[in-house]
Amino acid sequence: MAAVNGEVSFWYAAEGVPQPGPALPGDRDVDVCVVGGGYTGLWTAYYVKKAEPDLRVALLERRFCGYGASGRNGGWLYNGFAGRGAFARTYGRGRAAAMQRVMDASVGEVVETAAAEGIEADVVRGGVLEVARSRPQLERLRAFAETERGYGEGRVEELSAKEAGERVNAAGVLGGAWSPYGARIQPAKLVRGLARVVRELGVEVYEGTPVTGIVPGGDGRRPRAVTPYGTVTADRVLRATEGFTAGLRGERRTWLPMNSAMVATEPLSAEFWAEAGWQGREVLGDFAHAYMYAQRTADDRIALGGRGVPYRFGSRTDSDGSTQVETVRQLRRILNDFFPAAAHARIDHAWAGVLGVPRDWCATVELDRASGLGWAGGYVGSGVTATNLAGRTLRDLVLGRDTELTALPWVGHTVRRWEPEPLRWLGVQAMYAAYHAADRQEAAGRATTSPIARVADLVSGRI
């Protein structure tokens, strides 16, 4: 089992979990109030303040900046975003392609901005390597590569088993797909650096300040964020709470808080890395239905994640990142399966977090001028890069700019609410049970994608 379970995440192990900064000292009146101190909130505050330094911007965070998914994720800075296929069907292929081009460029935007602001986040632009380890996975890989080529040549390179193994020598690989639009990062270093920078810009950051309600404006009233320590009134109140959105009054069915869990090994030997390769530090994933994601860390560990227990009844969230023993065992099995030479490596840390899942699995950005309320999120696990784009898009909406970003299809996209309990819990449990069953069928030798997975995709709203 893991030496440490929880304590927010492994990414804080070296420097320790941050202590919250000063809380809101009382009522405040500002121009822009951001609720949530993760990537979305920090990028939004950053870009708004850089664009208009005289604006008064306040950011409210329940614990400390980076407590949620921004400080717990797998460190995949890549160009995926939730909902591309749905956006293409609803708004047209051209608008979906425009968003993909902007997402491609956003990988570089994050890397370059971090460098310009002196944020050291262990960034390596090794791209994204996704591998197939069964015939159905290989079928899906080829379909994925064909779809990607439809959005522009050079976006993905299809690899043979030998070529994929030369990048990362994982067991049982039949083929791979590599994209240049990706980088490995240390998530907590990025979020802590962003928090430092926004404070230096003059953003008022109040930590240890839970927001108990967001009140819309209208009829001459301005919107407000209500906390136990005072109320912040602003021209615009922007919700950036992602997986914790269900904890706000009236938002329980807006986005489902999906759990994802990770483990980190001890630092692995030079002999292991000589066999495993991974010299390019690509972020690594697969084409299983209940997929895994991994990276080679700066200190030569493997950090690997997967879904574990996908959802807690009533949209409850975890306590400081602790995860179930069975989830740790499950991730250990995946690690051993991919890298048999690491079978005896110690697991130093296990943790979990939540990500926001809309009912149609499409991320959104919105600003309602009548109420003064805005929001962004629902990234379905693709938020490390998408949050940056969301922050820039919210900046343009707040400042009333008509730009390429405000014309993207996720702006103003309407999502229906999740079903009430117990239907929500039953549906998610059934969906992931189906995906795991499909993976078992395919690993046992099935030649094509399991129909169980196709039904689960349809029921879940993912297609």
What tens digit of pLDDT does each residue of 400-418 get? 999 999 999 999 999 999 8
**pLDDT value for 460:** 63
**pLDDT value for 354:** 93
Name the pTM for this structure. Answer: 0.95
pLDDT(267) > 60: yes
Give yes or no for a contact between 346 and 318, defined as CB atoms under 8 angstroms apart.
Answer: no
Stretch 423-429: mean pLDDT: 84
Chain-centre distance for alpha carbon 360: 16
Q: HEC string of 286-337?
A: ECCCCCCEEEECCCCCEEEEECCCCCCHHHCCCCCCCCCHHHHHHHHHHHHH
**pLDDT value for 117:** 98
CA distance 221 to 217: 5
pLDDT(378) > 70: yes
Give yes or no for a contact between 296 and 333, defined as CB atoms under 8 angstroms apart.
Answer: no
Alpha helical stretches, state H, 70-186: 84-91, 93-116, 135-149, 161-167
- The residue type of 52 is E
Residue with tokens 């399966």: 337
Stretch 193-220: mean pLDDT: 97
Length of the chain: 463
Question: CB-based contacts of 282: which residues, under 8 Å, 6+ apart?
Answer: 126, 127, 128, 129, 167, 168, 178, 182, 184
Pairing of β 373-377 and β 364-368: antiparallel
Q: What is the mean pLDDT of the chain?
A: 94
Question: CB-based contacts of 28: which residues, under 8 Å, 6+ apart?
Answer: 58, 204, 230, 231, 232, 233
pLDDT by residue (tens digit) across 291-304? 899 999 999 999 99
At 105, is the pLDDT very low, low, confident or very high (cuts 50, 70, 90)?
very high
At 33, is the pLDDT very low, low, confident or very high (cuts 50, 70, 90)?
very high
Give yes or no for a contact between 229 and 209, defined as CB atoms under 8 angstroms apart.
Answer: yes
pLDDT(75) > 70: yes
In three-state secondary structure terms, 271 is helix
Stretch 323-342: mean pLDDT: 96
At 427, is the pLDDT very low, low, confident or very high (cuts 50, 70, 90)?
confident
Residues of the chain with pLDDT > 90, as a percent, come to 84
Question: CB-based contacts of 1: which residues, under 8 Å, 6+ apart?
Answer: 325, 328, 347, 350
pLDDT(463) > 60: no
pLDDT(212) > 70: yes
Stretch 95-101: mean pLDDT: 97
pLDDT(131) > 70: yes
pLDDT(455) > 80: no
First to last CA, the chain: 37
**pLDDT value for 122:** 98
Preceding peptide of 223 cis, ω within 30°: no
CA distance 38 to 240: 8
10 Å CB burial of residue 220 (0-12, 13-18, 19+) is exposed
Question: CB-based contacts of 36: which residues, under 8 Å, 6+ apart?
Answer: 59, 60, 61, 68, 239, 240, 241, 242, 244
**pLDDT value for 373:** 98
At 169, is the pLDDT very low, low, confident or very high (cuts 50, 70, 90)?
very high
Task: Of 359, 366, 354, give the one whose Cα is nearest residue 412.
Answer: 366
pLDDT(138) > 60: yes
Give yes or no for a contact between 431 and 459, defined as CB atoms under 8 angstroms apart.
Answer: yes
Beta-bridged to residue 286, according to DSSP, are 131
Question: CB-based contacts of 146: which residues, under 8 Å, 6+ apart?
Answer: none
Question: Who has greater pLDDT, 317 or 113?
Answer: 113
**pLDDT value for 7:** 96
CA distance 370 to 361: 26
